[in-house]
Structure 1
């Protein structure tokens, strides 16, 4: 069987369209005698002129009901033929069309005297109805020739009386004439296939066929001329009688048993063409599981089924009295999603037997149950507990109070809608041992709504110092939107939210913590997107107000508040110049000069900053003035500006300011890298990571620390052989060291490469090329530009881990001892981070609603994508082998090398 490519209609989000081409056909003019008998006919436009003005309406019908309002063509006057050539777009997409959808098209004539089925001064010239799907459930496409039924409006009902392709009846007694007509119909179908490209084009052969078809058509016309002449007078009288047949209430006097005959008019239309056939597809719901209705008992006596009176329109044989037709079976897709009421009641009864837990306090699990509990405790935060597992955790809840990892599983097993059960659960929470911070963060997620649970998590966070709290502050600010906070004036957030109260109390007592807390809140207040919502925006505005109100109550709070406002003014000044530079059409040199002049202007208060201003990007650094001569405007679409500031320590601190770019995703990645570096160092594994600082100051601007370094692309263009090694050797020469460089430099390079390779693999960082791999002169390797994460990549067949040939060559090749050491560092880092996978997954779960671009694409899968990279279903040894296979495949793959070369060519072409 040959392969067949097709698309389904439910995936076609494209409005139904039809192009009205032209009207073909003719009829004899109305006789003068007929006009004398029916004088109102002389006012009809088509009786006055052979090419009178007509217009067309189209409407989608299904199930004998209209699905859309009619859409009509614009006014157009005709001279020699009735041709519209106009596309009509109907307000319904193909994806929502039912299988029986049809297109009802009516051509309207004008008559001030009215007539049958008249609408104002318009009467139907003729109508036709075309099904949108053919007998094979494929969507019609291309040109269609539709029979027009004179003096009738298009009938979109089921079993339409105005079908575009009428049922063929033998009207001629001449067999040769019928055969000739059938041959013409067959040729027209072949012409349509030829036009759609289904028949290959051969010019000389096509011309022969076209001429032969014209001759056959002329012969057929001459043969039928006599018969038509005989029938023309009778047909004219009948049409004139029908056109003048106007009842007192406009009722139609057709015999329903005999559908009208098509006229000599055809309406040519065109439907959209698609590259592949479009097959009808509808949403199908799986039948519900009815296992709980019929258990193992086989001797159940069912009541006789009730009598069902079938409503009008439901066909059933009157003589059929079988049992199968006495019931109408309707499947409800929600049945299987609901809890079994019997099981729910049984669970409530079991848990209510010892509501005070007198007997449960002494329960001890046996060896088998203990293994089951240990398995449950090992589940990741994304795992959903079954009903049996929840019952087991509840049963041994007092025994589990000594296990800090069991708390989140216990909270998930509680029915918080049951008042008495939730009350006992809160009492058990007070007896639980101290939990880790990763479990506390999980309890602050959107799935835990009980205030007592969230307050318990905050109590754990109170034990963290400011440095540890700073690692999770970005996620904790996001968790505020899951708190029950009232935005009413005069109502403090500390009355509703223990988390808000905790963060405000810690932020007012630490300037570093308060600095970042304030700017995180400002970004949330600036987010006016639909995903954020006005309610969340109001919540963050209320928290920011209460933070400032609490800040001024401190001894030095007024000065701190003034400093934060000065930071905002400083950001506004940089935003103004950056916006002007981005909008100007000047060269890079002129842009740079303009920025330098702006910064050197004393009116902008940047040359001297007094008193010193803590940098929002890094509050530990205080700046006292700008260094205009070190300013650089980069050549890119956003034209970011590098500005150097003098600090109180006498050093320069270069900052990169971007306007027009949302840096929140880069900020998240840098925060996770910083956290992972902290986790690795706790495992006594210092991989010399140097994540630069990033701070989003709004949804479209932000600051970034500028680290003196050089891209691998720039290094490769400067050094030909082994560029990275030559670069490090030039900056750190040591004839006695490995490869002619200092041993410490190569050690830093190997460790930092290992750290970033593992971390970017876990985070699924994409779009890796030699322009965003950077190397500092002292050997620190790091990544930049995190526009693609969680496995997204604009390039096809992108590797899972970026391990370029330049990196391996700098270590001495894939067979060197330094490369082997690099792999060992990778394995150690991966194992250490897998141990802390719950913390990382919980941090990402708190960022699901943070409006981060790559998380927003599939928010329900974001955490699962990170979890997939940890391979938690494997043992530690199996996971390391899996990582080694990924590294080897990437090292030996040709595609990454080709991608880097193509990127280099594209960048060279742009330059």
Structure 2
């Protein structure tokens, strides 16, 4: 090729930078089948209806990119990260290949395939395309390129590819596309004021063009750009040094660059497999190991740290906290590392149940980790049913990481959950409803997985338990219909309440007032036999929740709130964690009189909440008792011989519950706290409701770090009272107890990152880090206590929350 004297360029062999491309947007429409063909395919493959081919809304896709030369793959496939699309299929993600510019042959081709996952462990290609990196003039292509996607096939990397990405055509629209491409690469002079109108007109013509947009898909990619063009030049690659004539000829070994691992690395690992059984670390190495083991769970281990742990793995077998770190260091795709890890794992001191949860996370989904997950389940079997119920919500989420193809016995976790749930209906009832909710989530890609599990679980229930579940389903369905019907009525709340009571007493929902005993889904310990019509209520709220009194087989009444149109999964999670923390505190002989009422989501936007009676919002208490909580307690529990004229046990309960909820809401980052979602009971218990904002999110500006208002402090007798001093002492004690269980709390949160709860799923890594940050694991107990006390002082003296609370009161007044 002739090159003019003033043509400046780089040789590709001089560019030691890894090759990368940017995937931008996916445009166009897919080919649609006619209805009979679609129905036939759905019957044959039940999961196919979840494919993007049969859905008009934006869905979740991912892309694989591979480099080919001479019809052969040059590197492993690189793929985009998980990205739920909400409005348009826009990636804006850069893919970096392991090969450098200088390593690329002249005929290197980028082969791209777009994949759609429509059922567990199954994927189908939406389409593929191929694109040569170098043009015919041996200059590396750069800038943005719009590629044609060949639908329903994978990208073809053969020499004569069947999926060429270049758009071909001769009409006006194709000519404009070429001009726009030159414009983007700055091969045409720019004129700012005129370009704006020209680009808008080209965009309009593009949308209207039948030739370019009819049932076609296009992917826009952006190739790397340099200051000068890059001209292809093959680099010299000496494979071996020629033998001199005087040397004796011998066999010459040449390294195969296409091997999975470099020979020197293989040799290193082989030498390290068995030679370190008695090796002990020196002081520096011991400090390094100690620092690594102090790291919170789910922390990514660096290559240097992994090497240190691997080297002293036998020394660490006596430390049960080190096993999860060691297993995270293993390259499970490498057979020698896998075999060594599985052989040493049984020799380790048995780990705690809290650490076994980490082994069930998404970090251990490789096919070679099945024995690791089986080991974790064996540890989990040590938990009794009561303890298992505290982890059940997360264990249901962990099933999505199992290698499950429809047979529960192939999955250690699923078979374990089925077995334990069959033996205990309380456990089984919660298990069934957790599966039910996840099987209907519109925002989840795992619906079919949970639907399959739900059906399998129901089929293997005995006759009695199956009848119980059917009765629960019927009861919830009837309540949901009743709630929806009442919400649709265009009448006042008072008339809706009157209508509700009539419908339950003698109307079409009379069957709900008297029925055979049903295990209440939100609390299967309770058997209910009907709703009390005259005590039914509709609360003043946008969602119009139903307040119901249920008759039990013991002759008592049990209050619940049934909500429709409200996602209770986040409240359910927070209440579960509060219940767990209450249990952890009680194990250390610290009962802080918490009130973890029960919450159960029964559908994506339906659920039941247990009533706590008697209780009253703090805002109402302050309104009735001249802004003084002490008057409220004195009225209900007077004691003339005690300070403040209040029974000592009531004041003790109030101080303890304030301390417990202050610490827990701080750790979980509960937001939007005001006097209407803080409730009080006459016996002194304070508790929180409505957990719409978690992990530090708050609609208020500059919220206080601790949820402690001045009314609570005055209720303890003021900042200088002995009760407030006890409150601060209890806060520090509770905080340090919960910090000791940080592995359990963080592992439970980690298993929820793919649960499609927006507050967690929107930013998975940061969600866990926010909880970790609140636990301040790098501090000693004394340092943590000092830090917490400072936060308490800052919260009590904060002025802005007082102003916000006043604004909230006025807002509630005007709404009324």
Query: Is TM (by shorter chain) over 0.5?
Result: yes
Partner in structure 1 of residue 620 of structure 2: 714
How large is the Cα RMSD of the aligned pairs?
A: 3.8
Distance 1:481 1:425 in 2: 24
1:655/1:353 Cα in 2 relative to 1: closer, same or farther (>3 Å)? same
CA contact (8 A) 2:143 2:224 kept: no
Shift of 1:608: 5.2
Tell which deviates more after alignment, 643-652 or 343-352.
343-352
Aligned twin of 2:358: 442
For residue 378 of structure 2, what is the aligned residue in structure 1? 459
Specify the SS of the correspondent of 1:502.
helix
* 1:376 and 2:292 aligned: yes
**What residue number does 1:351 align with?**
269
Pair 1:733–1:373, CA change in 2 (3 A): same
Counterpart in the other structure of 2:310: 394
The whole-number CA distance in structure 1 between the counterparts of 2:222 and 2:814 is 48
Task: State the match for 1:548 in structure 2.
Answer: 458
**SS state at 2:460 partner:** helix
Is 1:846 equivalent to 2:751 in the alignment?
Answer: yes
Counterpart of 1:573 (choices 468, 478, 481) is 478
Instruction: Name the residue aligned to 1:517.
Output: 431
SS in 1 for 2:524: strand
Alignment partner for residue 400 of structure 2, among 469, 481, 504? 481
Give matches, 1:770-789, under 5 Å: 770-789=675-694
- Relative to structure 1, is the Cα distance of residues 399 and 344 closer, same or farther in structure 2, using a 3 angstrom cutoff? farther
Match of 2:391 among 472, 491, 497: 472
What whole-Å deviation, never above 9, does each CA across 1:495-538 have from its counterpart, x for those lacking one?
Answer: x2100000000000001000100000000111132xx11xx222
Aligned partners of 1:527 and 1:699 also within 8 Å: yes
Alignment correspondent of 2:538: 633
| TM-score, length-scaled by structure 2 | 0.69
**Superposition deviation, residue 392 in structure 1:** 2.0
Q: Is the 8 A contact 2:330 2:338 kept in 1?
A: yes
Shift of 1:458: 0.2
- Secondary structure of the residue aligned to 2:779 is coil
Is the alpha carbon distance of 1:606 and 1:799 closer, same or farther for their aligned partners in structure 2, counting shifts above 3 Å? Answer: farther
Residues 493 and 800 (structure 1), Cα distance of their counterparts in 2 relative to 1, 3 Å cut: same
- Aligned residue for 1:611? 516
2-side partners of 1:395 and 1:309: how far apart?
Answer: 45
Give the CA deviation at 1:896: 0.8
Q: Which residue of 1 aligns with 2:136?
A: none
Give the corresponding residue for 2:96.
none
Name whichever of 864-873 and 712-721 sits farther off: 712-721
1:636 is paired with a residue of what secondary structure? coil
Could you say if the C-alpha distance between residues 895 and 119 of structure 1 is closer, same or farther in structure 2, counting changes exceeding 3 Å?
Answer: same
Aligned partners of 1:694 and 1:705 also within 8 Å: yes
Matches within 5 A, 1:782-821: 782-821=687-726
1:362 deviation in Å? 2.4
617-626 or 653-662, which deviates more: 617-626
Q: 1:639 to 1:156 in 2, by over 3 A?
A: closer
Measure, in 1, the Cα distance between the counterparts of 2:698 and 2:509: 42
Q: Do the aligned partners of 1:606 and 1:626 also contact (CA within 8 Å) in 2?
A: no
2:408 equivalent in structure 1: 493
* Aligned-pair CA distance for 1:349: 2.3
TM-aligned CA deviation for residue 706 of structure 1: 0.9
Q: Please state if 1:878 is matched with 2:796.
A: no
- 1:549 to 1:739, Cα distance in 2 relative to 1, 3 A: same
**Contact 2:704–2:795 (Cα < 8 Å) also in 1:** yes
Contact 2:143 2:222 in 1 (8 A): no
The equivalent of 2:447 in structure 1 is 537
In the alignment of these two chains, the number of paired residues is 612
Structure 1, unmatched stretches of 5+, are: 1-9, 16-90, 102-117, 132-153, 167-265, 271-281, 288-307, 312-324, 328-338, 553-557
Matched, 1:425 2:341: yes
Distance in 1 of aligned mates of 2:350 and 2:191? 77
Call closer, same or farther: CA 1:906–1:392 in 2, change over 3 Å: same
Alignment partners' CA distance in 2, 1:837 and 1:773: 26
The 3-state SS of whatever aligns with 1:361 is coil
Matched, 1:894 2:803: no
1:410 and 2:326 equivalent?
Answer: yes
> 2: distance between equivalents of 1:92 and 1:592?
47
C-alpha distance 714-432 of structure 1, shift in aligned 2 (>3 A): same
Residues 506 and 513, structure 1, Cα contact 8 Å, conserved in 2: yes
Q: 1:180-195, aligned counterparts within 5 Å? A: none
Partners of 1:628 and 1:690 in 2: how far apart?
27
Question: Is this contact kept in 1: 2:578–2:664, CA < 8 A?
Answer: yes
Residue deviations 1:262-297 (CA, integer Å, cap 9, x gap): xxxx99x99xxxxxxxxxxx999999xxxxxxxxxx
In structure 1, what is the Cα distance between the partners aligned to 2:539 and 2:603?
21
1:383 deviation in Å? 2.2
Q: 2: distance between equivalents of 1:588 and 1:388?
A: 65
Instruction: Give the Cα separation in 1 of the matches to 2:171 and 2:361.
Output: 61
Look at both structures and tell me which one has the larger radius of gyration over its CA atoms: 1
In the alignment, what sits opposite 1:42? none
Question: Cα–Cα, structure 1 residues 707 and 421, in superposed 2: closer, same or farther, change >3 Å?
Answer: same
Conserved 8 A contact 1:493-1:542:
no
Specify the SS of the correspondent of 1:658. Answer: strand
Displacement of 1:345: 5.4
Give the Cα separation in 1 of the matches to 2:411 and 2:454: 14
The 1:473–1:156 alpha-carbon spacing in structure 2 relative to 1, beyond 3 Å, is closer
Q: Is the 8 A contact 1:486 1:539 kept in 2?
A: no
Match of 1:596 in 2: 501
1:322-352 Cα shifts (integer Å, max 9, x gaps): xxx999xxxxxxxxxxx9x999755532321
CA distance 1:394–1:588, shift in 2 (3 Å): same
**Displacement of 1:395:** 2.0
3-state SS of paired residue (2:533): strand
Offset from partner CA, 1:538-574 (integer Å, 9 cap, x none):
221222222123223xxxxx01110111000000111
Aligned counterparts, 1:137-156, within 5 A: none
Equivalences for 1:738-757 in 2 at 5 Å? 738-757=643-662
Name the CA distance, whole Å, in 1 between partners of 2:285 and 2:475.
62
Specify the alignment match of 2:581 in structure 1: 676
